[in-house]
């Protein structure tokens, strides 16, 4: 395609040179120096208009490509917003409905993630809005606007007038040759003068229209390049701001989640250090703790029913299944409790059980 364009440009240059030779020949025959200057100006004008036409056409294609790219980005971004909204809602729902896990760590992390995801969705929606209203719409208006079409219409009128002028120049040449053959025939002289006056009028109109067309095309080219550059800058700045804000949101989310994990780890270590070592009654083999070893945050023994299962994460913790009954022997201020279930003793989150004042004898047997 590029080779074809180069070949076409070369042919246009050759035609322009031939037209220049023809016009120089005819204008020199008129004996008017101003006419020669005018023809040289007009020979440069078509080339200038052709370059302006090529430049504005390339600018128009670039604007259309930007519009298509932005529109595609907006469509894709809108679909991603829908997916992000579902993910955000799922995280929020989990965080709201699952608050009885160990220290509720994952629930809080899910809620924080949902909030952060909502903030990111808001920033993306703002980015898409800017790309649509401040980038795509202005470019679309210019591509379909009147200034560019009017300038091209003037250029086409100029080309048509130039072709008419060239045809009239050939007509003048023919009448000059006929006048030489007829040795000054009055009728031939009269026709030649009329043809020359028409040629001069066409050339004058061509000069005026050429300047008008060049001015219009130059103005459009300047506006086109200025607007396109501004929209590109707007697009880059909008995306840059979006990514900065998203990065800040994600950094804050990471800090919150890591801080929560550190808090839980510290609590686990503190609980492990505070857990008394169990001992066995040599006679019965039942695991128990000495009552006089209880701390200030302990309380009397009572039965609790497991309402939320718990999986032990260390040897000093107790695995609980839904519906189990536990003899609770100690409740710590940090939210953990120590007790015995099915012959095993250990620590577990106090929020996993509910206190029961009365328990069937069969359930008590199961506990021990």
pLDDT in tens, 281-316: 333 333 333 333 333 344 478 889 999 899 988 888
Query: Which DSSP symbol is given to 315?
Result: T
Kind plus residue range of the DSSP H or E element containing 98: none
Angle at 301 between CA 300 and CA 307, to 5 degrees: 120
Q: Are 175 and 192 in contact (CB under 8 A)?
A: yes
Tell me how far apart the alpha carbons of residues 294 and 155 are, in angstroms, rounded to a whole number.
Answer: 100
Q: Are 303 and 367 in contact (CB under 8 A)?
A: yes
Q: Are 203 and 38 in contact (CB under 8 A)?
A: yes
**CB neighbour list of residue 129: distance below 8 Å, 6 or more residues apart:** none
C-alpha 296 chain-centroid distance:
60
Tally Cβ neighbours within 10 Å of residue 320.
25
Give the residue-averaged pLDDT of 258-266. 79
Which of 299, 295, 320 has the alpha carbon at shortest distance from 310? 320
User: Which pLDDT score is estimated for 127?
Assistant: 95
Residues facing 325 on adjacent strands:
305
Q: Are 221 and 59 in contact (CB under 8 A)?
A: yes
User: Which pLDDT score is estimated for 363?
Assistant: 55
User: Which pLDDT score is estimated for 298?
Assistant: 40
Give the residue-averaged pLDDT of 318-328. 89
Lowest mean pLDDT among 103-107, 137-141, 242-246: 103-107
With 70 as the cut, is the pLDDT of residue 6 above it? no
With 60 as the cut, is the pLDDT of residue 183 above it? yes
| pLDDT-derived band at 103, boundaries 50, 70, 90 | low
Q: Is 34 exposed, middle or buried (0-12, 13-18, 19+ CB in 10 A)?
A: exposed
Lowest mean pLDDT among 228-232, 293-297, 330-334: 293-297
Residue with tokens 């608050």: 99
User: Which pLDDT score is estimated for 297?
Assistant: 41
Tell me how far apart the alpha carbons of residues 319 and 321 are, in angstroms, rounded to a whole number.
Answer: 7
Give the residue-averaged pLDDT of 204-220. 88
Per-residue model confidence as pLDDT tens digits over 120-132: 999 999 999 999 9
């Amino acid at each position: 395609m590029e080779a074809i364009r180069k070949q076409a440009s070369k042919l246009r240059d050759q035609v322009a040179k031939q037209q220049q030779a023809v016009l120089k020949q005819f204008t020199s025959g008129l004996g008017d120096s101003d006419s020669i200057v005018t023809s040289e100006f007009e020979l440069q004008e078509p080339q200038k208009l052709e370059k302006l036409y090529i430049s504005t056409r390339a600018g128009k294609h670039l604007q259309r490509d930007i519009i298509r790219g932005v529109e595609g980005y907006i469509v894709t971004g809108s679909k991603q917003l829908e997916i992000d909204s579902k993910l955000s809602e799922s995280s929020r729902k989990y965080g709201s409905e699952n608050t009885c896990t160990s220290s509720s760590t994952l629930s809080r992390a899910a809620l924080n993630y949902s909030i952060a995801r909502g903030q990111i969705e808001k920033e993306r929606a703002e980015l898409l809005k800017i790309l649509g209203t401040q980038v795509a719409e202005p470019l679309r208006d210019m591509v379909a606007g009147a200034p560019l079409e009017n300038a091209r219409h003037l250029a086409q009128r100029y080309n048509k007038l130039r072709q008419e002028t060239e045809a009239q120049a050939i007509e003048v040449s023919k009448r000059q040759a006929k006048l030489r053959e007829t040795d000054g025939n009055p009728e031939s002289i009269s026709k030649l003068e009329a043809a020359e006056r028409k040629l001069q009028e066409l050339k004058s109109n061509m000069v005026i229209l050429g300047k008008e067309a060049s001015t219009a095309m130059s103005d459009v080219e300047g506006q086109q390049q200025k607007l396109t550059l501004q929209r590109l800058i707007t697009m880059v700045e909008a995306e840059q701001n979006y990514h900065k804000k998203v990065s800040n949101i994600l950094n804050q989310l990471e800090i919150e989640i890591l801080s929560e994990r550190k808090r839980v780890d510290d609590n686990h270590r503190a609980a492990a250090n505070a857990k008394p070592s169990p001992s066995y009654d040599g006679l019965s083999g039942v695991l128990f703790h000495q009552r006089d070893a209880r701390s200030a945050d302990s309380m009397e023994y009572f039965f609790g029913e497991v309402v939320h299962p718990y999986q032990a994460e260390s040897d000093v913790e107790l695995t609980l299944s839904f519906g189990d009954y536990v003899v609770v022997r100690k409740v710590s201020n940090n939210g953990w409790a120590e007790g015995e279930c099915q012959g095993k003793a250990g620590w577990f989150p106090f929020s996993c059980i509910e206190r029961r004042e009365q328990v069937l004898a069969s359930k008590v047997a199961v506990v021990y």
